[in-house]
Structure 1
Amino acid sequence: MSPSFFSGASEVEEETQLEKQPTKKPNTKTKPEKRKSVTEKTVKAKKTKKNEQKECIIPQKKETEDENSTKPKRKRKKKTITDVLSSSEPKPGCPADLQSLVTQYFSDKRSVIEQEELKLLDSCFLSSNDLTHTLSSYLKQVCPKWSKIQKQHTEKSSVVLLIVCSSALRAIELIKQLTAFKGEAKALKLFAKHIKIEEQVKLLQKGVTHIGVGTPGRISALIEKEGLGLQALRYVVLDWNWRDQKLRRMVDVPEVKLDFMKLLESGILNGCKEDKIKIGLF
């Protein structure tokens, strides 16, 4: 047979083999599958990251909320008298200060008409201390005729001059400061510390006392028991401007303020209105 016959047969065989072999699909489909799998992985990774972040953030919020709930809320501290006065210069008291204190205290205890009756005229007051005076120099200014007044005073169980202060220690200090003023006048301690009220009543009854220096609580108690009379009383000097270690005045201490108001009610305000007693703010 001729060689052309074999070559033709081999070509036919090759064609049949090619027809039998499966045609390979183009790679166009594999590429999108890879992209799809990549995108799905990235989305899943993002979701897991978000979930992890949420899981991390949520317990932190809870912890802070729990901490806030357990921690007591800090209240704003109110400014005390000490805070205010430590940053400001002291101002001398005046009759208007006493008048406003009385009005404020009795605002819910007296009727409007009764409150009007508590108001004192300017003539009821002595000149106030301008913070330049000692006790002796102040008393010399407001009681220029003291030597004559003390000689005329002969009544027992009463005093001519009453000095009201916040504590026993302050009373002792003020009595020491009286030396240059009192002369031969007799001064008596009128406070509760280490002194029984019965002893003070006996001392007042025993002889003539010109000056009484004490706390509003004990002075009020003596007036109640009729151990101390107001018939000879002409001057009431309030230790108004003095301040303790906490920069509190006599009327800034609640219990002393209460006793002080009681003292004013015991006959001093009425004596002022009748022009028998004059009040001075030292």
Structure 2
Amino acid sequence: PLFLFLERGSAFRVTAQDHRTPKLELLIIPPPLKKISDMLAKSSPKPGSPEDLQQLLKDHFGAKRSVIELEELKLPDACFLPANDLTHSFSSYLKEICPKWAKLRKNHTEKSSVVMLVICSSALRCLELIKSITAFKGDGKIMKLFAKHIKIQEQMKMLEKSVIHVGVGTPGRIKALVEQDGLNLTPLKYLILDWNWRDQKLRRLVDIPEVQSNYPTFFFKKS
């Protein structure tokens, strides 16, 4: 076929309806998908906000819930703490938002649970944050909660045997642990989303499709 580009976003294709009569078809060419790098080049990236998370939950549960039910699921403002303004290291940020960590750590005795849960987009990012949390954790025990090289059954046994204070993991594995009753969220005091960090493709935690479908359910196990 012969393509005749008349204007941006459309073209005419000439094909042979039979051996003698040509047929003219109008094709609508969709615009190219915007790349994250192009979007960032035009405007400075905005840090995540409580409103972003509220909207994410609304989008996730909107098709399944009534307006009244969605309003009941809305997280109160008191649930949110200030985001890291990047003037802090991860450890110093945790010290600022959790000044009574030593007491919380000492009083936490329940197995199959954590006091603090850090959610990242990948196993590599989890390892990076685990290394940077050393100055904060004190005598607290940290556990990796991601799927890479670790079976979920092994993680469930480790949680059953030991008192773990901080869990650092990926949405998919944490969701699986919660659904299989391997991780009890009742004693949880701090849920930290690694929202603003970007991977090599410049994607944030909320930009990755396989992540988007998992982590909103941390807030509502039975949803």
Aligning the two structures, in what range does the TM-score lie when normalised by the shorter sequence?
A: 0.7 to 0.9
Q: SS of the residue aligned with 1:227?
A: coil
Q: Aligned-pair distance for 1:170? A: 0.7
CA contact (8 A) 1:85 1:247 kept: no
Matched, 1:69 2:13: yes
User: 5 Å matches for 1:133-152?
Assistant: 133-152=88-107
- Relative distance call for 1:177 and 1:75 in structure 2 (3 A) is same
Q: C-alpha separation between the residues in 1 aligned to 2:75 and 2:150?
A: 34
Gap regions ≥5 residues in structure 1: 1-62, 270-282
Q: SS of the residue aligned with 1:69?
A: strand
Q: Which amino acid aligns with 1:211?
A: V
What's the counterpart of residue 197 of structure 1? 152
Q: Aligned-pair distance for 1:105? A: 2.4
The Cα offsets for residues 203-259 of structure 1, whole Å up to 9 and x where unpaired, read as 111111000000111111111111111232111011011111121111111110101
What's the counterpart of residue 155 of structure 1? 110
Which of these residues, 190, 193, 204, is aligned with residue 238 of structure 1?
A: 193
Task: Report percent identity of matched pairs.
Answer: 59
CA contact (8 A) 1:92 1:129 kept: no
What's the counterpart of residue 90 of structure 1? 45
Q: C-alpha separation between the residues in 2 aligned to 1:231 and 1:103?
A: 23
Q: C-alpha separation between the residues in 2 aligned to 1:199 and 1:70?
A: 62
Q: Aligned-pair distance for 1:202? A: 0.8
What's the counterpart of residue 8 of structure 2? none
Which of these residues, 201, 208, 225, is aligned with residue 180 of structure 2?
A: 225
Paired residue total: 206
Q: Which amino acid aligns with 1:134?
A: S
Matched, 1:214 2:158: no
What's the counterpart of residue 204 of structure 2? 249
- Relative distance call for 1:64 and 1:86 in structure 2 (3 A) is closer
Q: C-alpha separation between the residues in 1 aligned to 2:197 and 2:87?
A: 12
Q: Which range moved further: 119-128 or 182-191? A: 119-128
- Flag the structure with more relative contact order, 1 or 2, with Cα contacts below 8 A and sequence separation at least 6: 1
Q: C-alpha separation between the residues in 2 aligned to 1:64 and 1:223?
A: 55
RMSD: 2.3
* Rg larger in structure: 1
Q: C-alpha separation between the residues in 2 aligned to 1:70 and 1:135?
A: 61
CA contact (8 A) 2:122 2:170 kept: yes
Q: Aligned-pair distance for 1:94? A: 1.4
CA contact (8 A) 1:92 1:131 kept: no
Q: C-alpha separation between the residues in 1 aligned to 2:196 and 2:213?
A: 18
TM-score (norm 2): 0.85
User: 5 Å matches for 1:1-282?
Assistant: 68-69=12-13, 74-266=29-221
Q: Which amino acid aligns with 1:95?
A: P
Task: Name the one with the larger strand percent.
Answer: 2
Gap regions ≥5 residues in structure 2: 5-10, 16-26
CA contact (8 A) 1:185 1:211 kept: yes
CA contact (8 A) 2:3 2:14 kept: no
Q: Which range moved further: 250-259 or 89-98? A: 89-98
CA contact (8 A) 1:99 1:119 kept: yes
Q: Which amino acid aligns with 1:181?
A: F
Q: Aligned-pair distance for 1:70? A: 5.9
